[in-house]
Structure 1
Amino acid sequence: MQQVQRSSLITQVTAQLREEIVTERWPVGTRIPTEVELCELTGTGRNTVREAVQALAHAGMVERRQGSGTFVMATSDLGGTLGKYFADAQDRDVTELRRTLEVTAAVLAAERRDAEDIRALTDALESRNRSWVKDSAEEAIAVDAKFHRAIVAASHNAIYLEFYDSLLPIIRQTMHHQVSAHGNDYYDEHAALVDAIVSGDAEGARVASSIFFDELGLSEQ
């Protein structure tokens, strides 16, 4: 029997961490366990864990944030690659792409949502409105982005969701710029969007979702 090589051990741990992300036990936007916690979970040393996390960081699936920890950025290597590709995109280009994705996703969500989606959307709306009142702008925008992601998830289109996840970092960035410029809380608009999806009103969902982008000057020609 051959001894397990250190490189093989790193590969095994990387695969275990990747599985937690792919299966969304560690959802996009959440912080993964600390190095010490990962050592306990995997039964390996700190250097092994650090190199495994670094491999996922190189793939764009996680991001280290000084003083905050390591956060999930994408559910696949492809998503991470796309996220890097779009990192320097112009705000208007990203917002126009968001419109295409989110308006269609809202229509699909109204047609396909199930009881679990309805609970998730209702909770996401409450969290979004709460955060907008009591949290910092950065935290509120992160929660707002999760709300919009919940709508894409309710579309039950796996490709849409993976692509949207790859865009989340740049989406949050553009949302921050737009909040600074417009300062609109959009409470009623968010509520109307959820109501349309919950009631299965596809046309109402299309209109409600479009309103956000119309007010940013991206109305359809």
Structure 2
Amino acid sequence: MPLGALRPSPLVEQAAQRLREQIAAGHWPVGAKLPGETTLARELGVGRSTVREALRALAGAGLVRPRQGAGVFVLAGEPVEDWPARLRRAAVTDVYEVRMGVEVQAARLAARRRTPGDIAALAAALADRRAAAADGDAAFVEADIALHAAVVAAAHNPVLTGLFAEFVPVLREGLTALLDLTRLRERDPCTGDATHAALVDAVTAGDPEAAATTLGAELESTLALLRTGSTA
């Protein structure tokens, strides 16, 4: 199947798209070796540098892989979604289940590793969450997430911190929708205050199991609400 010459404009993007279409259509199946840069450049009507950049883009998407001295080979028929994209597409309940594993372990580590600075940050975050009770749902959710982030930060594990940061956009959206649906804050503007205070107390006191148990129970309760969509 001839590739066809390209029109002027962003040639690299056009070349990458044309090659992607050919791969998706099975013209070059998984495991196949692509034609050389010179051949591709001739068929696409562009320079070899444009083809080279297009192939780099396809490699970045997980579609092809160059092998030193052998050429470029097809790895997959469709691009591999990166982790943030997968999280955006995931159900908030799925993300919450993973969040529980991350945060419960973080709470346990935070109780062991917290510093005076962490303790002060946790106290400030709890105060901010209480102050946000007078504001709208969006502000309250931000303050709630900030408190959880302070707990994760106190674990002093950059991998846990990075994972939690990836979850935040999905959590923000899911929790805001949950509050809107359940109207929890109409009855209790600072919903969950006692549990969050107990979590801060456990981390501050250096009690890993109490911190993990308290946070686990709080997240389980929220997950149940997310699954049912009600306060029943």
Same fold, judged at TM 0.5 (above)? yes
Q: How does 1:28-67 map to 2 (within 5 A)?
A: none
Q: Which residue type is aligned with residue 103 of structure 1?
A: V
| Counterpart check, 1:123 vs 2:129 | no
Task: Report the equivalent of 2:174.
Answer: 174
Of 186, 190, 198, the match for 2:196: 190
4+ residue stretches of structure 1 with deviation over 2 A? 81-85, 177-182
| Residue 177 of structure 1, CA deviation | 2.8
TM-align CA RMSD? 1.5
Note the C-alpha offset of 1:98: 1.1
What is the distance in 1 between the residues matched to 2:146 and 2:223? Answer: 23
Alignment gaps of 5+ in structure 1: 1-80
Q: List per-residue Cα deviations over 1:30-57 (Å, max 9, x = no partner).
A: xxxxxxxxxxxxxxxxxxxxxxxxxxxx
Q: CA deviation at 1:162?
A: 1.0
TM-score of the two chains, using structure 2 as the length reference: 0.56
Q: State whether structure 2 residue 165 is matched by structure 1 residue 159.
A: no
| Greater mean alpha carbon deviation, residues 185-194 or residues 209-218 | 209-218
Q: Measure, in 2, the Cα distance between the counterparts of 1:100 and 1:177.
A: 22
The equivalent of 2:113 in structure 1 is 112
For the residue of structure 1 that corresponds to 2:215, the secondary structure is: helix
Shift of residue 152, structure 1, vs aligned partner: 0.5
Structure 1 residue identity aligned to 2:106: A
**d(CA) in 2 for partners of 1:82, 1:140:** 27
Q: Quick one: distance in 1 between partners of 2:148 and 2:222?
A: 16
The equivalent residue for 1:212 is 218
TM-score by length of 1: 0.59
Q: 1:85 Cα shift?
A: 2.6
Is the CA contact 1:106–1:155 (under 8 Å) kept in the aligned structure 2?
Answer: yes
| Structure with larger Rg | 2
The equivalent of 1:23 in structure 2 is none
SS in 2 for 1:210: helix
* Same amino acid, percent of matched pairs: 31
Q: Distance in 2 between matches of 1:178 and 1:96?
A: 16
